[in-house]
């Protein structure tokens, strides 16, 4: 994973991403052009957290026909850590995120932690962080599409098609069994 030499290279890499990724990060180019990298990293990880929730939501709806209202309420209350997401991903999709995909985010997570905790991060490390994050998102989308045919970065309507969703009570038990924090 090469480090983009400048913000122009980083924008070029972003523009080469799949359309779904570009739509999911609508402010990426403007932020890279106008703000410090720390702001862009914070924005991208904010969107990544949203993507994690969308992935779990979409998977539970698509694969298990979970009730959308109950699922949304549970996800809103779920404390989602990095490892927690990976654990729930396995439970929802029946397959783990591959080691190759997980490796793409490790450096970015370290840089994100340094930035959020007020530590100095060289611009080159921030650019590499953002570049790796784009690679991770693309790989993660590919894995989600393989496990359940939907894009977590697209329109999540129609995940269950015309089939009926589970009732609220059954959905609570389903989610509890998958490891979600259900009250």
Instruction: Establish if 112 belongs to a structural domain.
Output: yes
Class of residue 42 by CB neighbours under 10 A (exposed 0-12, middle 13-18, buried 19+): middle
Tell me if 178 is assigned to some domain: no
Q: Answer whether residue 170 is part of any domain.
A: no
What's this model's pTM, rounded to 2 decimal places?
0.93
pLDDT in tens, 31-60: 999 999 999 999 999 999 999 999 999 999
Enclosing domain of residue 99: 7-152
pLDDT of residue 1: 60
Give the pLDDT of residue 137.
Answer: 96
d(CA 3, CA 32): 15
Domain assignment present for residue 175? The answer is: no
pLDDT tier at 162, thresholds 50, 70, 90: confident
- If one counts the domains in the chain, the total is 1
Q: Is residue 24 part of a domain?
A: yes
């Amino acid at each position: 994973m090469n480090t983009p030499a400048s913000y122009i290279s980083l924008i070029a890499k972003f523009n080469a991403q799949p359309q779904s990724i570009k739509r999911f990060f609508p402010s990426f180019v403007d932020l890279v052009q106008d703000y410090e990298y720390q702001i862009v990293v914070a924005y991208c990880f904010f969107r990544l957290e949203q993507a994690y929730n969308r992935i779990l939501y979409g998977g539970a709806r698509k694969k298990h026909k979970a009730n959308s209202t109950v699922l949304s309420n549970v996800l809103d209350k779920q404390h989602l850590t990095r490892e927690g997401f990976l654990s729930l991903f396995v439970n929802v999709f029946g397959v783990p995120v591959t080691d190759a995909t997980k490796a793409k985010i490790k450096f970015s997570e370290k840089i994100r932690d340094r930035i959020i905790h007020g530590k100095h991060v060289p611009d080159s490390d921030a650019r590499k962080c953002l570049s790796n994050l784009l690679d991770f998102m693309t790989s993660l989308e590919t894995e989600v599409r393989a496990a359940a045919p939907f894009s977590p970065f697209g329109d999540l309507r129609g995940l269950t098609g015309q089939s009926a969703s589970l009732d609220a009570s059954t959905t609570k038990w389903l989610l509890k069994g998958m490891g979600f924090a259900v009250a």
